[in-house]
Amino acid sequence: MSQEKSTIPGNHQQVPLKVLAIGSAYEDTILYVDKFPPEDGKQRAQRVEKRRGGNAGNTLTVLSQFPLTQGYFMASMASKDASAFLLHDFETHNIKTSTCIFRSNAELAPVAYIIYADNTSSRTIINYNSIDELTFEEFKRKFEAACVEEVDTLNNDLPFNWIHFEGRNVVEVAKMIDYIGTKVWRPRTKISVELEKPYRRGLETLMSRADVVFFSKVFAEGKGYNHAGDFLQIMSPHCKNTALLFCTWGSSGAMCYNNQTRKLSTEPALPIPSVVDTVGAGDTFTAGVIYGLTQGMTTEGCLKFACELAGRKCAQVGFDCVVEKMSKLF
Amino acid sequence: MSQEKSTIPGNHQQVPLKVLAIGSAYEDTILYVDKFPPEDGKQRAQRVEKRRGGNAGNTLTVLSQFPLTQGYFMASMASKDASAFLLHDFETHNIKTSTCIFRSNAELAPVAYIIYADNTSSRTIINYNSIDELTFEEFKRKFEAACVEEVDTLNNDLPFNWIHFEGRNVVEVAKMIDYIGTKVWRPRTKISVELEKPYRRGLETLMSRADVVFFSKVFAEGKGYNHAGDFLQIMSPHCKNTALLFCTWGSSGAMCYNNQTRKLSTEPALPIPSVVDTVGAGDTFTAGVIYGLTQGMTTEGCLKFACELAGRKCAQVGFDCVVEKMSKLF
């Protein structure tokens, strides 16, 4: 167990923060069963749980726990009726959804059914998403409306301190980032991209446009690498020469490569009493980095802070109060 | 293909009908996949569909399509919020749910997840129901309120022409049937029980109290019988000596044993162009028998009518307009 003092800054001056995250939101239904059912069999679940899923939304859920921090979620969603569960959950977590597009003809929200088998700890996933992705024009309309609404509310003329994208819908997202690049306030915001799925095409297009790039272990392994450091150095030429590249590596912690200084930093995972729930650990790490960088932490400080935040998330079910626990020892 | 004329009575005088059915309602989510996922795998569904499930409710859905017929569903449900999908579906089908009990602390309706694999036509089911069963006291309260409301609306002083029970929650249901037995109008109503699950205990208690008993093939096979006729004759001593016993047998049709006349009747399944969807075929058969008997058909007429109705249901997805199709040839 870690007996070190937490890395959360104690009485520092909090910088108000507005984060826009663009991605996809899922209704996750988790079916807890004793054992995975045989094909054609009938099985009773011990418990069924419904959660909001989706990486960008998870990151906002954690970010929203920090003081003076407002999250905005943007996605192409099903009809408002079909999105009721998701919207209610965003609202509960104080995340604004006025930036979402609702497709009135889509009667089913994106769903994932996750079968957790107790005897083998396996997770079998069946997912479904029939919602058309967000187009650049839709983004532009919602983004402009949000800018008008948000300018001057917290940070003078800066609508968002940070804009984070899930690495999907590549062609349209590239246009979105280029559009943000035309804004006079662009140099004062940060743009990040999170790359999780290695099989998606054209992701280099997004890497080259982001100030901060988040890679998953699955992504690195899918590209044929089994070490985060090697992988980040290979990826670095595809990124901006001022970019920061992060890669999480499960129980081995995470690494960061600074493309400007060419420095590679490593941070081990936080030793925790027992791993309870790793769903969204990477998204929590992302929240930690976004928070740390906007608060003026060093790259190494950020990496350490984000690793601790992700570790504390793994020690609990869900995301509730994980930020609050950063000020406590295990 | 059947070229015979339909068995639906043409211009007969329709008897107004009020049917109360007591059971359980499920939210069925059907996940259509190319192939059943391996344990720990990830699979994309081709389509996801949500349906209301539950035997008694299905029977009412079909009955409600007949003219001058009003269905009432009684069950112990989750909270009204959690039951929104089910309530909306009952309403769409013109089935009254004022007879339901809502458990405000139950945040999840009973659910069944059905994985349909296209390559093997398998159906793998995971279900979950944490709702406490209906108690006799709850039944009595709702039943008395419904009787006050319904007397004189259609059939003079008779609140319900038919009261149908799913064979579950045996101890409480036996008390419910005995309570109905104390009513002066009892001889003018019919009570039926549907027995589907062979492993439930004490079902003889219910058989002995019903005017009409519906057995499934699964039930008969679970008791060790592979012929409907043999099975019904073995069951007959457990039933009232005036009872009618029905047993459906999939593509082999159905049989009826009249405990009074000791006559066994057989009806083959309706030959249909192709079997499209058998979910709820047994419940449709039940609806056919209830309708036929209340309209004064003979036992054999009823059996033929119910077999045709169930067959027509198998030739289509869901229950919509199945009654209307009874007047048409294939």
In a domain, A8, yes or no: no
Q: Is residue B11 part of a domain?
A: no
Half-sphere CA count of A206, side-chain side, radius 13 A: 26
Amino acid letter for position A45: A
Percent above pLDDT 90 for chain A: 80
Count Cα neighbours of B318 within 13 Å in the Cβ-side half-sphere.
Answer: 11
Q: H or E element: which one contains B29?
A: strand B26-33
Tell me the mean pLDDT in the region A18-34. 95
pLDDT at residue number A13: 62
Residue A40's pLDDT band (cuts 50, 70, 90): confident
Considering only the beta carbons, identify the residue of B36, B44, B117 that sits closest to A127.
Answer: B44
Give the closest of B42, B47, B108 to A48, CB-based. B108
Contact between B111 and B78 under an 8 Å Cβ cutoff? The reply is no
Per residue in B107-145, pLDDT (tens digit) is: 889 999 999 999 988 889 999 999 999 999 999 999 999
Mean pLDDT of B268-289: 93
Q: Measured in whole angstroms, how far is the alpha carbon of residue A113 from the centre of its chain?
A: 20
Average pLDDT on B244-269 reads 96
* A contact set with B (CB within 8 A): 29, 31, 33, 36-45, 47-48, 50, 108, 111, 113, 115, 117, 120, 122-128
Mean pLDDT of B264-279: 92
Q: Is residue B4 part of a domain?
A: no
Tell me if A50 and B125 make a contact (CB, 8 A cut-off): no
Which pLDDT value is given to residue A11? 47
Nearest-neighbour CA in chain A from B105: distance (Å): 15
Closest CB to B45: pick one of A36, A40, A128.
A128
Determine contact, residues A54/A24, Cβ cutoff 8 Å. yes
Q: Give the residue from chain B lying closest to A82, CA to CA.
A: B85
Q: What mean pLDDT do residues B216-223 have? A: 93
In a domain, B128, yes or no: yes
Report the mean per-residue pLDDT for chain B.
91
Contact of B255 with B226, CB cutoff 8 Å: no
pLDDT level of residue B291 (50, 70, 90 thresholds) = very high
Q: Judging by DSSP bridges, how do beta strands B101-102 and A42-44 pair with one another?
A: unpaired
Instruction: List the single residue in A43, A48, A125 with the smallest CB-CB distance to B43.
Output: A125
- Other Cβ atoms within 10 Å of A144 Cβ, number: 12
Nearest residue in chain A measured CA to CA from B130: A47
Question: Strand locations in B90-189, DSSP E?
Answer: 95-96, 101-102, 111-117, 122-128, 162-166
- The helix or strand, by DSSP H or E, that contains position B57, with its residue range, turns out to be helix B55-63
> Distance (Å, rounded) from C-alpha B325 to C-alpha B245?
27
B113 to chain A: which residues are within 8 Å by CB? 29, 31, 113
Do the Cβ atoms of A80 and A87 come closer than 8 Å? yes
> Which residues on A lie below 8 Å from B128 (Cβ)?
31, 44-45, 47-48
Q: Which of B31, B41, B122 faces A113 most closely, judged by CB atoms?
A: B31
- Mean pLDDT across chain A, nearest whole number? 91
- Which region among A55-64, A131-140, A272-281 has the lowest average model confidence (pLDDT)? A272-281
Identify whether the C-beta of residue B34 lies closer than 8 Å to the C-beta of residue B117.
yes
Predicted local distance difference test score (pLDDT) of residue A154: 53
Distance from CA of A50 to the nearest CA of B (A): 9
Contact residues on chain A for B79, CB-CB shorter than 8 A: none
Query: Tell me, what's the pLDDT at B11?
Result: 47
Phi, psi of A243, rounded to the nearest 5 degrees: -75, 155
Single-letter residue type at A1: M
Q: Which residues of B touch A131 (CB under 8 A)?
A: none
Domain ranges, residue A300: 17-37+46-324
Tally of domains in chain B: 1
- Asked if B113 lies within 8 A of A113 by C-beta distance, the reply is yes
**Yes or no, beta carbons of A40 and B123 under 8 Å apart:** yes
Please name the residues in contact with A229: beta carbons below 8 A apart, sequence gap of 6 or more. Answer: A255, A257, A264, A266
The partner residues of B192 in beta bridges, in order of sequence, read B164, B212
Q: Give percent of chain B with pLDDT exceeding 90.
A: 80
A112 is a domain residue: yes
Could you tell me which residues are beta bridge partners of residue A105?
A: none
Q: Is the pLDDT of residue B10 over 50?
A: no
Residue B197: per-residue pLDDT: 86
Residue A156 pLDDT class (50, 70, 90 cuts): low
CB-closest option in A39, A48, A123 to B111: A48
Coil, strand or helix at A60: helix
Q: What's at B258, amino acid-wise?
A: N
pLDDT, tens only, A190-239? 999 999 988 888 899 999 999 999 999 999 999 999 999 999 999 999 99
pLDDT of B154 strictly over 80: no
- Look at residue B15 in the predicted model and tell me its pLDDT: 77
pLDDT digits (tens, 9 = 90+) for B79-118: 998 999 999 999 999 999 999 999 999 988 999 999 999 9
> Considering the domain boundaries, does residue B10 fall inside one?
no
Q: Do A45 and B126 touch (CB under 8 A)?
A: yes
Read off the CATH number of the domain in which A32 is found: 3.40.1190.20
> Does B43 sit within 8 Å of A111, measured CB to CB?
no
Residue B186 lies in a domain: yes
Higher pLDDT, B153 or A92: A92
pLDDT for the residue numbered B12: 58
Residue B245 lies in a domain: yes
Does B127 contact A50 at a Cβ distance shorter than 8 Å?
A: no
Token pair for B171: 């101890």
DSSP state of A53: E
Q: B45 and A126: CB-CB below 8 Å?
A: yes
Per-residue pLDDT band for A153 (boundaries 50, 70, 90) equals low
pLDDT of residue B168: 93
